[in-house]
Amino acid sequence: MIAEAGLAALWLAAAMALLQFVGGLTLLRGGAGQLVPLIKPAAYVQGGLCAFAFFALMWLFYVTDLSVLLVASNSHIDKPMIFKLAGTWGNHEGSMLLWVAVLSVSGAAIAFFEKRIDAKTLYATLAVQGFIALGFFAFLLFASNPFERLVPAPLEGAGLNPLLQDVGLAFHPPTLYMGYVGLSIAFSFAVGALLTNQVGPAFARAMRPWVLTAWIFLTIGIAAGSYWAYYELGWGGWWFWDPVENASLMPWLAATALLHSVSVLATRNALRAWTIMLALVAFAMSMAGTFLVRSGILTSVHAFAVDPERGAFILALMLIYTSIAFVIFALRIGTVKQGEPFQLVSREGGIVANNIFLSVILAIVLIGTLYPLAAEAMGDKISVGPPYFNKATVPVMLLLMVALLIGPMLRWRRDALMRIKYWLIGAAAILVCGGLAAWKMAPDTRLFPLLGIALSLALAVAAWLPLRGRKLLRTPLPIFGMVIAHFGIAVSVFGMAEESGFSKETLTALAPGESAEIAGWKVKLDDVKPVLGDNWVAVEGEMVASKNGDTFILRPQSRQFFKPEMQTSEAALLTRWNGQLYAVIAQPDQEGDGRWQVRLWWKPYVTFIWYGGILIALGGTISLFGRMFRRAKKPAINKWERA
């Protein structure tokens, strides 16, 4: 009965979304009919029903109810409990139900908490939320039912993709969905403000926490997914420009630009049209990401759906939402009042430059991701991989870092570069010295890694300069958040540049007792033995890594899963302050002489990539809580409130 109750809750929630949407339409058309007072209650009920439906599905996975097709296809009676629960969203139908549940609960939160915009704009926003939810309810109920029964029920279940049976992947998808849904809320605010002609600071302040929350979750999701791919797939890389990786990066790029733009609008009453456009683009990118992962057009460990009909359904939703939104933008943007003017050399000008560079990178990634798919649809098969993305994006990323170096130092409205000439000279000195030092250590290193190291060092210093001259105890938390986030970018870029420019790799075959050397490390294979896990068996190598008199034990594994059948590599990582020793053991050598294939990497400062990601998300979180605390303590007063 739990499955039937969950399905019934979805139908009732869809009815609430329809009521929410129709009520908003009547208000926008000039009526004040009886449906308008029901918009908020409909949002509350919709959120509660969707939360119930999702937890019902989670319960079915918890008890391994194999009479439900989704559970039977993605779980197993012997699977560890954490992966049983993660199976709730580790599949197509469950992940889409999570998407809708977060969307509906967020809509209820908007209806309950939002007091900063007028009632008509709030109702319009909720109506747009209802419209978005209706499409996904239709998808779940007619094309991707998560509660479909299976008769007769199997005895064991098919199990979950072994690559997804990892703690990192238990948390990676939900964080990305939180980000995607946060951008859908920004989209609803933007369209609602356009429809009611209320594009101004009040609307921006209402939208900003949702954009910031989405950006934080996207940052965490991308960092977690990158680290999972790094240690789980056994290939030694942290980013391969896989289309599904790009599907998560594109919304993050758009959200980063939107976050800066909406902050300017909220505090300085500028960039009105730019903010609206970025909100629409960010949501379009989140829908594109959903389509790429759920449509079945990609072959990837991230992609779950293989049904082209469901892919066509998602594509249709994406086209409907984005087309209608951009038509409204084209028709209504002329009614949006011009914001406060500013000069090119100003903090606003720096943010515009920042957003332009982010938009260029977004366009490069979008073209490189979609062009091969379009070409294949027309009968041509081409490959666009890391060489294209690296050569096209890295120069723009370096320019973006230059903008980050200068922009926060500028004043609002108008400024002059001569005022910060000493900082510019200092930054240039750091760049030159950092680049020369890196080149001296490794003269054969390519240009871009050297520039990345030099710029990251300069940005690491520049990130803290906004605190100069301030009384730290009186400095607003959002300023601290910005500083930490920008410092996190410097840390991540430093790790990326070091790893790409100075990594060492060796592939060898070792018998027990033999050793190999890499980057000053001596790695000896002591023993190879079988290991039994909960739902897998493995061959485990015991290796002794030594350097400068210190010794450490590494235990890489080659695992074989049975439900379903798949072989995976479990890398062994030895983390030091200046990098990681990465070891993978594979199959016995084909010559049958008792040797095992072993691959070793030394990756200098690679962990800085994820330390930086943590700092970026931490900075965003500090900013979010700082603004929430300020709002709870004393509502902000802005002279542009009525603009």
pLDDT at 590: 64
Q: What string of H, E and C letters represents the secondary structure of 152-195? A: CCCCCCCCCCHHHCCHHHHHHHHHHHHHHHHHHHHHHHHHHHHH
Summarize pLDDT for 138-159 with one digit per residue, the tens.
999 998 899 999 888 887 777 7
| Residue 178: alpha-carbon gap to chain centroid | 9
Average pLDDT value for residue range 83-112: 89
pLDDT category of residue 607 using cuts at 50, 70 and 90? very high
Give me the residue spans of the domains in the chain: 504-604
d(Cα 533, Cα 560) in Å, to the nearest integer?
Answer: 10
Tokens of 254: 């758009």
Query: Residues in the chain, how many?
Result: 643
Confidence of residue 642 (pLDDT cuts 50, 70, 90): very low
**Is pLDDT of 117 > 50?**
yes
Q: Can you give the pLDDT at residue 494?
A: 96
The dihedrals phi and psi of 122, each to the nearest 5 degrees, come to: -60, -45
Q: CA-CA distance, 460 to 561, in Å (whole number)?
A: 44
Q: Measuring CA to CA, which residue among 272, 115, 287, 126 is closest to residue 209?
A: 115
In this prediction, residue 31 carries a pLDDT of 62
| pTM score, whole prediction | 0.92
Instruction: Output the six-digit token pair for 246.
Output: 């790009």
Type of residue at 428? A
List the Cα angle 631/635/641 in 5-degree steps. Answer: 120
pLDDT average, residue stretch 569-590:
89
Q: Is it the case that residue 579 has pLDDT exceeding 90?
A: yes
β-strand pairing of 565-570 with 504-510: unpaired
The predicted pLDDT at position 640 comes to: 39
Answer yes or no: is pLDDT of 566 > 60. Answer: yes
pLDDT attached to residue 305: 47
pLDDT at res. 365? 95
pLDDT at 114: 87
Q: What percent of the chain has pLDDT over 90?
A: 54
Strand, helix or coil for residue 531 = strand
Joined together, the tokens standing for residue 459 give: 């940005």
Weakest-pLDDT range from 97-101, 310-314, 580-584, 588-592: 588-592
Positive or negative, the Cα torsion across 60, 61, 63, 67? positive
Task: Assign 639 a pLDDT band (cuts: 50, 70, 90).
Answer: very low
Helix (H) or strand (E) holding 504, with range, is strand 504-510
Contact 553, 542 (CB under 8 A): yes
Residue entry with tokens 């034990």: 553
149 DSSP 8-state letter: B
Q: Strand, coil or helix: what is 510?
A: strand
CA distance 257 to 321: 21
- Sorting pLDDT into bands at 50, 70 and 90, what band is 552? very high
**Dihedral angle sign, alpha carbons of residues 503, 508, 510, 513:** negative
The whole-number pLDDT of residue 439 equals 80
Give the Cα separation of 93 and 7 in Å (integer). Answer: 12
Using the predicted structure, report yes or no on whether residue 227 has a pLDDT greater than 70: yes
Q: Across the strands, what pairs with 504?
A: 602
- The per-residue pLDDT for 522 is 95
Average pLDDT, the chain: 88
CA–CA gap between residue 638 and residue 71 (Å, rounded): 52
